[in-house]
């Protein structure tokens, strides 16, 4: 009876080891499938993000171009206004600036030597 019991235990052990190998193979195959699925999902996410980045950059570029055109138009309009000033108007404007830059004193030497 001892030999039969030992043979049964050995057979069970072999059976369990076979089951472990099969389950290990199944687990490894499942892991490989999951990794492949995650890699595909990661690539899909990278593609979506790249497309979103291109869209954001295009929108930013369009907004910057629009702002640039607006600023250029305003500068051109202001330039046209300044070019349209008469000599008399320029003289008045320059006198105002000169008075701010060069305030008049009672004498031409600030230290009393005149």
Answer whether residue 91 is part of any domain.
no
- The count of structural domains within the chain is 1
Output the pTM of the full model: 0.52
On whether the CB atoms of residues 108 and 114 are closer than 8 A, the answer is yes
* Helices then strands, each counted (H, E), the chain: 2, 0
Q: Is residue 32 part of a domain?
A: yes
Asked if the structure places residue 17 within a domain, the reply is: yes
With respect to residue 114, please indicate whether it lies within any of the assigned structural domains. Answer: no
pLDDT in tens, 65-107: 999 999 999 999 999 999 999 999 999 989 988 888 887 765 5
Domain extent for 33: 10-78
Domain assignment present for 20? yes
CB 107 within 8 A of CB 114: yes
Q: What is the pLDDT of residues 13-50, one digit of tens each?
A: 999 999 999 999 999 999 999 999 999 999 999 999 99
Residue 42 lies in a domain: yes
């Amino acid at each position: 009876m001892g030999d039969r019991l030992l043979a049964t235990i050995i057979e069970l052990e072999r059976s369990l080891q076979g089951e472990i190998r099969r389950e290990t193979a199944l687990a490894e195959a499942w892991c490989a499938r999951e990794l492949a699925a995650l890699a595909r999902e990661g690539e899909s996410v990278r593609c979506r993000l790249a497309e979103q980045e291109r869209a954001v950059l295009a929108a930013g570029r369009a907004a910057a171009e629009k702002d640039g055109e607006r600023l250029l138009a305003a500068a051109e309009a202001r330039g046209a206004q300044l070019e349209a000033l008469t000599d008399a108007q320029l003289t008045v404007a320059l006198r105002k600036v000169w008075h701010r830059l060069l305030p008049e004193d009672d004498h031409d030497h600030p230290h009393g030597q005149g």
